[in-house]
Structures are given as structure tokens and as C-alpha cells.
Amino acid sequence: MPDILKYDVLVIGSLNADLVVRTVHFPRPGETISGDDLQIIPGGKGANQAVAAARQGASVAMVGRVGKDGFGPFLLNSLKSDSVDIANISTDESATGTAMIVVDSSGQNSIVLSAGANGKVTSKDIDALKIKAKVLLLQLEIPLETVIHAAKWGRQNGMIVILNPAPARELPDELLLSADYILPNETELSLLTGLPVRDVLSAEQAAKALLNRGAKNVIVTLGNKGALFVSNKQVSQVNAYPVEVVDTTAAGDAFIGGFASFLVEALKSDSELPDVLLLAPALQIKAVKYANACGALATTMFGAQPSLPTKEEVEKFLS
Ligand code: RIB
């Protein structure tokens, strides 16, 4: 039997080729508009979060699928160049996942996904893994039943399970219960709970509705209002860093990679796999502040993976 490999962060999720066009405004239904030249950029929430954590110094492995087309090697090379272990990313007959992205002049985006090979990641892929990690990162661009299986598997194996419920959808309580941290943005939180989320107060109320359903810690990213940490022990708002926004794509992924790597760094002295209950509230807020800086920096550059900051860049920004 092969040896178990140990990583700081394991990502089970999606890889997408982002087909990005910049326009002045989003097209209305039936409208044709012109944009800048098409850019093909490595993306996918899973792969972005893997790169985001790796650039913060974490050792990272990723599980996923790409297709046999040219986008597959393009995405794998991007991960490899950031030292993400790609041994558990397999190649499928389907097309590689793609994301059609329009970025408007204010830096906001609108995205249409075509799952392709991401839709073929199965629970069997997880059962076959010979990997341990301190933190497991999950999103919703692979089949939901695989995400649920992965979350339970991560918990059983002593990992801190972080769920980014994106793209937004309703979720079963069993998944909420299996995650240590749930990190939605305002839109995702609203869809997840069926409650309006317009400001910090309504975000807190919706986050508490998730706690009532079994979630342990909810961290809501609020764009230029920062982030809100809500658990049964505390509610804390962390302010946003003022930056000049170029493109918000992957800002949430930068936040999550930064949060995960900060926790890993804090737990480095522990020889055993971490227990999330050992994490002091103050430490978690520090992690949110650091993650906020990662997210802010990502908005200052165009594209998904090219915009994810390194540890040095974040430290310089914070100092
Ligand atoms: O979070 C940003 C990502 O969402 C993009 O890279 C795109 O691939 C979509 O998955």
C-alpha cells in the first residue's frame, strides 16, 4: 500500500479555463455589445483556492478532473507552476470545465459555467485517496453528492473542513453539519437561507439561521463592507481594506486560500492533526483579517489565478 502523503491543504474541486472579455457594461437580454480581446486565464474555484493557499506558503494537493482537450494541460501547468500536487487530478473524456466571464468597467463580473469534466468527480475518487491534510477546501462546482461525501470523509480523517457554498444553491443540513467553517458571500448566503441579505445586520441574521441548522462558524464576505464572522460564541465584523478595484474575479478564492493558510500556519506547532475547537476566537478573527487582505489584493489585478497574491505581497500590503 503506498504511503499516506501529508499536506497542509487539500482541495477537492473544480478547474476551469476562464474565457474572459472586458466590456463597459453587461449585455442586456437580446443585446449584442463589443468587448476587449478575449483572454483565456486559468480559473475554477477549486484550482483558484489551491493556488491562493500555495502562494501563501501552504503545501497543497488538489483532486479534480480535466478533459483531454488543450485546456487540461493549460490548467495543470498553472497549478504545477505554483507547486500544487496534481497527482490526483485525472483526465476525463468530457471537455475541460470552462467559465464564460464578462467583466464590466467597475470590475464586477458575470459568469456562465460549463462544468464538463468537473461534473465527473465522484465519491470513488475520494475513497481512493492516500492523503492527509490539516485543512480540506470544498466548493460547489463538482457534484453535490461528491461534496457531501468529501466533507464527511474530511471530518472522519481529522481535517478542518471549509465549505465555500459557491455557486449559490440550497444545501442539505448534513453538509452544513460536516463543515467547520462555511464561507458564503452575501448572494450565496441569501440563497442558502432564503433570507434577504442586504447589509451587515441582515447578514448576521441569515448566518444565525445557518447556525440554527447546525453550522458551526459562518464567515460572510461582504465586498466593500469587509467580512462578518458569526459563531455561537461571537459575532465580529472585520473592515474591508480600501483598494482600487480592477476585477473582483477570484477575490473570494483569494480570501479562502488566505484564511486556510493562516489557520495552517497557526497550527504548525501541533504535531497532531488539528482540532478546530482548539482555535481561539481571537486567532480566527486574525485569520479573517489576513484573508480580507488577500481578497482585497486580488481585486486590484485582472483575471483569476494571475490576481492571487503571494505571502510577501500580503505582508507588504499589511505593513
Ligand atoms: O471564483 C472565480 C471562479 O469562478 C472563476 O475562475 C471561474 O472559473 C468560476 O469558477
Check residue 145 and give its pLDDT: 98
Measured by CA distance, the residue closest to atom 8 of ligand 1 is: 44
Mean pLDDT of 112-129: 97
Check: CB of residue 45 under 8 Å from CB of residue 164: yes
Check: CB of residue 210 under 8 Å from CB of residue 190: no
For residue 193 and ligand 1, the question of a CB distance below 6 A is answered with no
Residues 6+ apart with CB under 8 A from 234: 281
pLDDT-based confidence at residue 3 (cuts at 50, 70, 90): confident
The ligand 1 atom nearest the CA atom of 43: 6
Distance in angstroms (rounded) separating the CA atoms of residues 50 and 169: 22
Mean pLDDT of 18-41: 96
Check residue 281 and give its pLDDT: 80
Is 253 among the residues known to form the active site?
yes
For 168-183, write each residue's pLDDT tens digit. Answer: 999 999 999 999 999 9
Distance in angstroms (rounded) separating the CA atoms of residues 248 and 316: 21
Q: Is the model more confident about 278 or about 218?
A: 218
pLDDT-based confidence at residue 282 (cuts at 50, 70, 90): confident
Q: What percent of the chain has pLDDT over 90?
A: 92
Mean pLDDT of 39-54: 98
Residue of 90, 75, 179 whose CA lies nearest to 135: 179
Q: Distance, CA 49 to ligand 1 centroid (Å)?
A: 10
Mean pLDDT of 268-292: 75
Mean pLDDT of 210-226: 95
Q: What percent of the chain has pLDDT over 70?
A: 96
Measured by CA distance, the residue closest to atom 9 of ligand 1 is: 44
- Can you list the domains of the chain with their CATH numbers? 5-318 (3.40.1190.20)
Mean pLDDT of 87-95: 96
Residue with grid cell 500590503, as numbered in its chain: 317
